[in-house]
Amino acid sequence: MPGKFTVNVRRGDGYAVLETGSYLNQTAGEELFNRFNDLLEEGYTDFIINMSKTKIVNSIGISILIEMLEKLRERKGRLIFCNLSNVISKTFKIMGLTQYAGVYPNEEEAISALRGEG
């Protein structure tokens, strides 16, 4: 069984980074979604989800990510994923998430993309 899920939040200049850990299932997805909503209430609309510690995402986790994307579309916000494992990257492509969110190999490139540098 994968380890306990955590969400670390870092605030940048006009964006927030949500760093996930372990297995993104319903419980973990709800924690991620709650942190995301708190940041939306603070006025953030640009997000990076750093998944360097996440190796598995189940269907409920995917549905929560889709819900996040829908909320950001309503607010003209942006979502970028970074540090995806090969399996998660392929899953996101198959599920269509990459049509609505950026994907970058690391957090530095994701931040550059949000700033319009990449």
**pLDDT score at 21:** 85
CATH assignment at residue 49 = 3.30.750.24
Which tokens go with 29? 């997805």
Range of the domain at 58: 7-114
Q: What is the pLDDT of residue 1?
A: 44
Count of structural domains within the chain? 1
Share above pLDDT 90 across residues of the chain, in percent, rounded to a whole number: 89
The answer to whether 84 and 53 have CB atoms below 8 angstroms apart is no
Q: What is the CA radius of gyration of the chain?
A: 13
Q: Is the pLDDT of residue 117 over 70?
A: yes
pTM for the structure as a whole: 0.93
Residue 55 CA: distances (Å) to CA of 44, 74, 113:
26, 29, 24
Proportion of the chain above pLDDT 70, given as a percent: 95
Is 47 within a domain?
A: yes
**CA–CA distance, 43 with 64 (Å, rounded to integer):** 20
pLDDT in tens, 35-87: 999 999 999 999 999 999 999 999 999 999 999 999 999 999 999 999 999 99
In a domain, 1, yes or no: no
2 in any annotated domain: no
Residue 5 has pLDDT above 70, yes or no: no
